[in-house]
Structures are given as C-alpha cells and as structure tokens.
Amino acid sequence: MNPQELEQYLHENIPLSQAMQVSVIEAEEERVILSAPLAPNINHTESVFGGSASAVAILAAWSIIHVRLKSAGMASSIVIQNNIMSYERPIYGTFTARSFITQPEAWEVFMLTLLRRGRARIAVSSVLEYGGQSVGNFEGKFVAIGKTHSCDS
C-alpha cells in the first residue's frame, strides 16, 4: 500500500482524517508517518488541540496495522482497546506522527493468533514530532478481528 492509497482510504473511511487535513508521508511495514497542519487543528492558545494530536497519533498507529494486514492479504477490522498519550511540548505548526510496532517480535504471534482465533491484540507506539523534536508519545493496544469471524466469537 503506497502513501496515496492509505491517505485515500483514511479520508474515505475515517472522515475526521480529512477534516483534520491529515496527509500520509510514508506507509511502510516498519513505520507509517502522518502529517497534519495547525489551521484545522488549532486551539484557543494558537497551538494544536490535544485531541487533534492524539487523533493523529492513533491514526498513525492504526494505519501501521492496516498496512501490514493488507500486505499479508488479511481482511480484518481494527479497533483501539486502550491507550496512553503524553504531551511534552506545545505544537505551533504542521506536525507528524511516526508509528511503529512496539515489540516487532510480537507481530508473528499476533498474526498466528489472528489466523487461529479470529482476533488478536498488539501494542503500537507513535511519536509526535514538531520542528525536528519529539513533542509527544502514544502507546496503545489494538485488536484485529478477522472478517470471517463475528465480534461475538
């Protein structure tokens, strides 16, 4: 999946991403990098609204799972189970969220579990960056549910 395909998918299926003007810089199995400008995400202090920063971090984390599963030919629904977001500095302009699988060795177990049980969980992290510096960190757990399994299984 290339960056343009992922961006189109996000805008069509997660309308908030389009309203926030999220763009995809990179869409690789090792990392996904999303970018968002200040203007549609601004708050009363003329910095990025914390909810917008969190949303972009979640989107980047969700996207790396989506990219990997598409690459593996796996149809599934991906939902967030829980997360922790920390903010280190205010963001006064266009920022990025770079996601990665928190423990890369866990991917194989995740895939085997998804194939066997129809659902699996994995931890994903994102780093928010602005002006060449880390400005926030996201850690979340996501659940993938195979399309051939119901949510009740």
Whole-angstrom Cα distance, residue 87 to residue 136? 4
Burial of 139 (0-12, 13-18, 19+ CB in 10 A): middle
Query: What was the pLDDT predicted at 41?
Result: 96
More reliable by pLDDT, 149 or 13:
13
pLDDT tens digits, one per residue of 85-125: 999 999 999 999 999 999 999 999 999 999 999 999 999 99
pLDDT tens digits, one per residue of 131-141: 999 999 999 99
User: What value does the mean pLDDT of the chain take?
Assistant: 94
Fold of 3-146: Thiol Ester Dehydrase; Chain A (3.10.129)
Query: What was the pLDDT predicted at 152?
Result: 40
pLDDT tens digits, one per residue of 27-54: 999 999 999 999 999 999 999 999 999 9
3-13 and 50-71 helices, crossing angle to 10°? 120
Domain boundary assignment for the chain: 3-146
> pTM to 2 decimals?
0.93
